[in-house]
Structure 1
């Protein structure tokens, strides 16, 4: 089983999948290798880019907080923060002048993102853009009866986010997990908070167990903090050449090529013994 991150891993900087990646993943599918895409993106935003692969995929969206069978558009599971924990974190954030972008599970209602203010508010650091579809503004987040919050995202300078993360880890260590990502260059540092088992790794492992695949048989490839857990725990953890330094330190292998040069395909072709002759290159 191969678990692959999307942005800055499977996708190049133009948000497309390099042709070599497409060809290698199609061959792996033909070989019977299960392929999982694990992304921080919401499913609606991940799906169009992945359709070019034209193979059956399991998609772990929202950093593993929702699981989709893509060729059927079926959601098979989702994980939410409890309403109580969501409210407590929201209150503490407000005290610090922090306002979240909420990734919510209201897919069937046409809504994936909820904020308290319009996208232009400086608290969001351009994370929500004018073209963001399926976005709803709710002035009082405490009044949402079924929030179904999968991820709370906060944009701010790194030191402020680290201080807030320390507070969350001290007070909600048994109900949440969090990490700070740095690869969204438009936005800057982002603190992402979710259910304690809502990680790419935990969800990938749950899926693997459900289909009889051992941890040692899992290959995980990524570049940022939200990939760290799966790179540390998979049978073979792979960091991209363009990965963050702390992610590279945790990996058993670092790709020889970056995301713009099909690093995913090159490393997987080597692992599985795929000859370039098989790819019509």
Structure 2
């Protein structure tokens, strides 16, 4: 790590950085957030300094971007968000679109039916709405959380056992289906059947769930497209992550950073590995390393 020389002002230090890294893409769960799904204060402070230096801090997540609005307010940023693992890129508070790659109604109907046949819980991520059959798991979490949030930070939910009416009746586009089950065998069966019928492979984001987006969708692809639109080169980007769905982004970025708690494959692909985990302010450490 580079050490700031005595007598060197912080302003000089941050000004020097701007010529090196211009955009940092950061995963959320297991990276920016601690185990309580909160942002450690060290991370908030580090992002604040990035903002002051004019460096983009872009969240890249498997979540729907409406789910992270409270975190954007915590960070005091209104930036583009790479959500649904890259299927949707927009500034969520103002619905300013940068890119999107939807799943067709026919594909979504097929995937929802396969999940139901195998007894797997699933959630459909549409342009503004999250659909679920029952008020449980993540649907229950966001239902209860909405009660505590101002309207601008709430997640629009649609809970119904009739997925056909929702899929065929809405004008919203679909970006992802999240499949949830604690039984690994069911996950594999659902994954295999969806691939067999649609040709779309899943991306595992945790031990008990996986995400399905349109073919070719990755965080890396979204980061590349966003960087080009912002006039930022590949070498001027960095990416921080911990899981399988971060791997392509870590490999593509000019500098890839793995968290201390990252899986071995991510650590192997990264140029830097933090000493601190996500619960210890590892992102703040990563930012300092990137700027050294």
Q: Same fold (TM over 0.5)?
A: yes
- Is residue 223 of structure 1 aligned with residue 237 of structure 2? no
Distance in 1 between residues matched to 2:258 and 2:195, nearest whole Å? 26
**Structure 2 gap segments, 5+ residues each:** 1-22, 147-155
Distance 1:168 1:233, change over 3 A: farther
| Count of paired positions | 255
Distance in 2 between residues matched to 1:119 and 1:25, nearest whole Å? 35
1:218/1:236 contact within 8 Å kept:
yes
Task: State the Cα RMSD in Å.
Answer: 2.3
2:247/2:269 contact within 8 Å kept:
yes
Distance in 2 between residues matched to 1:81 and 1:163, nearest whole Å? 21
TM-score under structure 2 length normalisation: 0.78
Once the two structures are overlaid, the 10-residue window that deviates more, 232-241 or 21-30, is 21-30
1:15/1:49 contact within 8 Å kept:
no
The CA deviation string for residues 192-218 of structure 1, in whole angstroms up to 9 with x for no partner, is: 101124322211111111122222322
1:153/1:192 contact within 8 Å kept:
yes
1:53-132 alignment to 2 at 5 Å? Answer: 53-69=75-91, 72=94, 74-105=96-127, 107=128, 112-116=129-133, 118-120=134-136, 126-129=137-140, 131=144
TM-score under structure 1 length normalisation: 0.81
Residue 100 of structure 1: SS of its match in structure 2? strand
1:1-281 alignment to 2 at 5 Å? Answer: 1-69=23-91, 72=94, 74-105=96-127, 107=128, 112-116=129-133, 118-120=134-136, 126-129=137-140, 131=144, 133=146, 134-143=156-165, 144-146=168-170, 148-156=173-181, 157-173=183-199, 176-182=200-206, 189-273=208-292
How far did 1:132 drift?
5.7
Q: Name the structure, 1 or 2, with higher relative contact order (CA <8 Å, separation 6+).
A: 2
Residue 169 of structure 2: SS of its match in structure 1? coil
Once the two structures are overlaid, the 10-residue window that deviates more, 196-205 or 72-81, is 72-81
Paired residue for 1:278?
none
**Structure 1 gap segments, 5+ residues each:** 121-125, 183-187, 274-281
Distance in 1 between residues matched to 2:52 and 2:231, nearest whole Å? 19
